């Protein structure tokens, strides 16, 4: 019983960090492009974001599983969750960027900075503190949505829990353990997010002083 749980946790622990990193990268890139409002590209990305926000994650998983020949169930789950949650993260990033006064863009240009430098040296450091709590909530949803990946054959924690339940006929005990494990994972993410938020607050202030000098 313990080995089943440990094996499932291993796959879940491998999937979650990969999706967290990839969705942050996708979210920042997509959010910046939507903020920049590049012709045609922005319209295509808007369609992608709208589609992901209107389709359940389980449907995204199944569509990808049956239409794209991925190398493994892990890759299918990784890409599906990245596409789905990346759209939500991009909305968080774009919302943070639009909240910054446009005058800061002009100030950056007057200092001879290009758009990319302005984004990564002025805009993004400012919004990180504000969006970290929202990102934390989104990544907790990522953890919860990993419970869906067993439908594409990935032998994660939920898959092994179902297999174990079929053998032991103890659904209450098994799902209680699984629920506790997911709770601990989400709790740890919340703690990490709070520490990162405190760290980013200090780094952002130092970065802003460096850029304006």
Q: Where are the domains of the chain?
A: 2-212
For the chain, the average pLDDT equals 86
Classify residue 155 as exposed, middle or buried by CB count within 10 Å of its CB (0-12, 13-18, 19+): middle
Pairwise CA distance, residues 122 & 107, whole Å: 10
Range from 45-59, 135-149, 159-173 carrying the lowest mean pLDDT = 159-173
List CB contacts of 15: < 8 A, sequence separation 6 or more.
74, 77, 78, 81, 146, 149, 154, 156
pLDDT of residue 91: 94
Q: What is the pTM of this model?
A: 0.85
List CB contacts of 161: < 8 A, sequence separation 6 or more.
4, 5, 8, 174, 175, 177, 178
Q: For the chain, give the percent of residues with pLDDT over 90.
A: 40
Task: Tell me which residue of 141, 189, 176 sits closest to 5, measured CA to CA.
Answer: 176
| Mean pLDDT value of segment 127-154 | 89
Number of H helices, E strands in the chain: 9, 0
**Interaxial angle between packed helices 2-36 and 171-212, expressed in degrees from 0 to 180 and rounded to the nearest 10:** 40
pLDDT of residue 64: 92
pLDDT of residue 86: 96
pLDDT in tens, 42-85: 899 999 999 999 999 999 999 999 988 887 899 999 999 999 99
Range from 64-68, 90-94, 162-166, 179-183 carrying the lowest mean pLDDT = 162-166
**In whole angstroms, how far apart are CA 171 and each of 149, 157, 167, 168?**
19, 14, 10, 8
pLDDT of residue 68: 86
Between 127 and 59, the higher pLDDT residue: 59
| Mean pLDDT value of segment 134-161 | 89
**In whole angstroms, how far apart are CA 103 and each of 77, 84, 93, 106?**
42, 33, 19, 5
Is there a contact between 165 and 171 (Cβ–Cβ < 8 Å)? Answer: yes
Position 150 pLDDT exceeds 90: no
Q: What is the CATH number of domain 2-212?
A: 1.10.3720.10
Position 205 pLDDT exceeds 80: no
Position 186 pLDDT exceeds 60: yes
**In whole angstroms, how far apart are CA 3 and each of 131, 161, 167, 182?**
38, 11, 14, 17
- The number of residues in the chain equals 213
> How far is the first Cα of the chain from the last one, in angstroms, to the nearest whole number?
60
């Amino acid at each position: 019983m313990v080995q089943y749980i440990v094996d499932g946790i291993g796959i879940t622990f491998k999937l979650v960090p990969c999706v967290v990193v990839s969705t942050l990268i996708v979210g920042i890139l997509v959010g910046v492009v939507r903020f920049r409002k590049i012709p045609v590209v922005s319209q295509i990305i808007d369609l992608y974001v709208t589609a992901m926000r209107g389709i359940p994650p389980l449907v995204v998983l199944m569509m990808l599983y049956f239409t794209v020949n991925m190398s493994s169930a892990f890759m299918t789950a990784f890409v599906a969750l990245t596409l789905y949650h990346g759209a939500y993260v991009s909305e968080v990033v774009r919302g943070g960027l639009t909240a910054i006064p446009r005058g800061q863009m002009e100030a950056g240009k007057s200092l001879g900075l290009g758009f990319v430098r302005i984004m990564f040296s002025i805009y993004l450091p400012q919004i990180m503190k504000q969006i970290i709590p929202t990102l934390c909530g989104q990544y907790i949803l990522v953890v919860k949505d990993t419970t869906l990946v067993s439908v594409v054959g990935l032998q994660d924690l939920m898959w092994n829990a179902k297999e174990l339940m079929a053998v032991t006929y103890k659904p209450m005990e098994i799902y209680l353990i699984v629920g506790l494990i997911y709770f601990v994972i989400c709790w740890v993410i919340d703690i990490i997010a709070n520490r990162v938020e405190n760290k980013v607050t200090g780094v952002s202030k130092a970065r802003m002083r460096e850029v304006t000098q």
